[in-house]
Amino acid sequence: MHAAKPLFVALSLALLLGACDRNVNNLRVANYGPQTPRAPIQAVPSAMVAHLSATAGGGLSRESLGDLNTLLGRQGRISQQTLTLRPSTPAGEQVARRLEQVLNQLGARQVIVAPTQLEKGQGADLQVVSEALVAQIPDCTIADPSRYTVKPYRAVGDLGCANRANIARMVADPRDLNRAQSLDGADGVAAVNAVERYQRHETVELLDINFNKD
Taking only the tens place, the pLDDT of each residue in 24-38 is 566 666 655 566 667
pLDDT for the residue numbered 48: 94
Please give the backbone phi and psi of residue 48, each rounded to the nearest 5 degrees, phi first: -130, 150
For the chain, domain boundaries: 43-136
Considering all CA atoms of the chain, what is the largest pairwise distance in Å, rounded to the nearest integer? 108
Question: Does the predicted model carry a pTM greater than 0.85?
Answer: no
Q: What is the pLDDT of residues 39-82, one digit of tens each?
A: 778 888 999 999 999 988 888 888 999 999 999 988 988 988 99
DSSP 60: B
Query: Strand pairing partners for 133?
Result: 45
Q: Which of 100, 79, 86, 103 is nearest to 52 (CA)?
A: 86
> What single letter denotes the amino acid at residue 73?
G
Decide yes or no: CATH 3.40.50.2000 for domain 43-136: no
pLDDT for the residue numbered 136: 83
Residues of the chain with pLDDT below 50 are 1
pLDDT for the residue numbered 58: 83
Give how far the C-alpha of residue 72 lies from the chain's centroid of Cα atoms, to the nearest Å.
Answer: 12
CA-based end-to-end distance of the chain: 97
